[in-house]
């Protein structure tokens, strides 16, 4: 099962309760199966787009193997502040988690961090903003957010590594391709549309016809 997760929806309940999370909606997605579906990978709370769930334990195990083996092809779209110096490139920048009492935790580039690699491509730009396609080869926490900031182009609306903006963080898990076996239906590809709150910034950087594909 592939969901179009809205930005602002966390996958897990907060330690202090409060706002709803994906966990609260899982019973509605059970659809006659014995167990509740479970996410096969992670998306940040503020990231919208394609989220894969396994509906059975064998399916979840198979999906876990695909993600662990880096066989799932993930494509993200982002609107960033500024414009990268080239048309495309690869960021090979290890990341580590740091924490302070004053500022809390965040990720930072560090040679002793975990390997993190992202291929990026410029799809359009205008008015001091750029539209990037991002293809992560690894799945580190906040990887795309830190890599874009390290490129000198923080993601628009990212309060951690850039600045907040109307419409929230402009990062979309645009598509995912899963090379499933024949017993699970073969290759599966899903695409998520650009959320309405992000459309003005994306349209500023490209043609409106670029956003007609629905999930």
Longest CA pairwise span in the chain (Å):
52
Q: Pull the structure tokens for residue 58.
A: 């064998």
According to CATH, the topology of domain 2-211 is Pseudouridine synthase (3.30.2350)
List the catalytic residue out of 4, 12, 44, 46.
44
Are the beta carbons of 81 and 154 closer than 8 angstroms? yes
Report CA torsion sign: 54, 135, 174, 13: positive
44 included as an active-site residue = yes
Tens-digit pLDDT profile for the chain (215 aa)?
999 999 999 998 876 555 689 999 999 999 888 899 999 999 999 999 999 999 999 989 999 999 999 999 999 999 999 999 999 999 999 999 998 877 788 999 999 999 999 999 999 999 999 999 999 999 999 999 999 999 999 999 999 999 888 999 999 999 999 998 776 677 889 999 999 999 999 999 985 556 544 44
Number of H helices, E strands in the chain: 3, 11
Q: Tokens 């730009």, residue?
A: 125
End-to-end CA distance of the chain: 12
Domain ranges, ordered by start, for the chain: 2-211
């Amino acid at each position: 099962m592939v969901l179009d997760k809205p930005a602002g929806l966390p996958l897990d309940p907060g330690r202090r309760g409060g706002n709803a999370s994906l966990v609260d909606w899982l019973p509605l997605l059970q659809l006659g199966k014995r167990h509740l579906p479970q996410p096969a990978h992670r998306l940040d709370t503020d990231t919208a787009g394609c989220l894969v769930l396994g509906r059975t334990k064998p399916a979840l195990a198979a999906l876990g193997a695909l993600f662990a083996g880096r066989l799932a092809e993930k494509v993200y779209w982002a609107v960033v502040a500024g414009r990268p110096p080239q048309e495309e490139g690869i960021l090979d920048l290890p990341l580590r988690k740091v924490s302070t009492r004053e500022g809390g935790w965040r990720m930072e580039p560090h040679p002793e961090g975990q390997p993190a690699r992202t291929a990026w491509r410029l799809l359009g730009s205008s008015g001091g903003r750029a539209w990037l396609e991002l293809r992560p080869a690894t799945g580190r926490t906040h990887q795309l957010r830190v890599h874009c900031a390290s490129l000198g182009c923080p993601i628009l609306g990212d309060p951690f590594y850039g600045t907040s903006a109307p419409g929230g963080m402009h990062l979309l898990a645009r598509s995912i391709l899963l090379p499933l076996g024949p017993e699970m239906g073969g290759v599966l590809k899903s695409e998520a549309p650009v959320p309405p709150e992000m459309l003005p910034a994306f349209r500023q950087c490209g043609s409106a016809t670029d956003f007609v594909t629905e999930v």
